Chains A and B, each alone.
Chain A
C-alpha cells in the first residue's frame, strides 16, 4: 500500500548547476536562522547561519538570503556537486526569547536535493 508520511519538496539538478532551496518561516519574531544538511544515515550538519540584521551571507559555495518582509529564506549552492545530494533543513529561533523558549529551534520539513552527474 501507499506509505503515508512527510512529502518533502524535491529539487533535481545537474552537476555544475547552481541550486536554490527555499524556506518559508513562520514566526515574524524569529531573528536567527540556520541551514542544515542531512545526508542519509547521518545527523543534520550545520552549513550556514544568518541573523536578522543581515539580508545576505556568503560561505564557501553557499549563500543564504533572508527576506524578512515575506518571511522567506533561501540557500543557494554554487556549482552543485554529487556530494551535495542530501536533505536540507532550515531552522529558525528567537535569540531574545525568554524562559524555556530560549535556544529552541523550529525546523522546516526539509527539501531533498538530488544532483545528477
Chain B
C-alpha cells in the first residue's frame, strides 16, 4: 500500500529556530506539493515541484521558507527563522501527472502531515 510519508509528525520549537520537514512521495510520482492548513486559512498551497524542478512557490513567504527536492524520494520544507504565525499543519502530497494526447492531471495523495507549533 503505497503512501506519502512525512517526518516529523509533530514539532514544537521556539521562535527563531530552524525547522525542517521531510516528505517521501509515492514511488513513481512526478509531482510533489507542499500545503499548509490552519483554521484561519484552510488549505493553502505553498510550493509545487514537477520532476524535482520547482514550478511554483508563490504561496510561500520567500524570506523564511524554502522548499527543495534533493532527489526523487525526498522533498524538504525549511523555515528559518520560525515564527509563532507559522504554527500549522504542513502537508505534503504527491501525484503522477501524465501526458497522453495532451496534458492529463492525476490525483494528489496526501501524507499524514507535520503539526508544527512555534512558541
Contact = CB atoms under 8 A, between A and B. Distances in A.
B50 A107 contact: no
A72 interface: no
Interface stretch (B14-22, B64-72, B75-83, B99-107): B99-107
Contacts of B39: 3, 5-6
A98 B56 CA distance: 13
B24 to A, nearest CB: 14
Contact of A6 (B42, B55, B111): B42
B100 to A, nearest CB: 11
* Chief secondary structure at chain A's binding surface: loop
Contacts of B60: none
B42 A45 contact: no
B105 A100 contact: no
B45 interface: yes
Contacts, number: 67
A81 interface: no
B57 to A, nearest CB: 10
Nearest to B92: A43
A44 B110 contact: yes
B42 A110 contact: yes
Given A102-B97, A104-B56, A43 B110 contact: yes
Contact of A95 (B40, B50, B91, B104): B104
Contacts of B109: 46
A92 B5 CA distance: 24
Interface of B: 4, 31, 33, 38-43, 45, 48, 50, 55-56, 91, 93, 95, 97, 102-105, 107-113
Interface of A: 3-6, 32, 34, 36, 42-46, 49, 89, 93-98, 100, 102-105, 107, 109-110
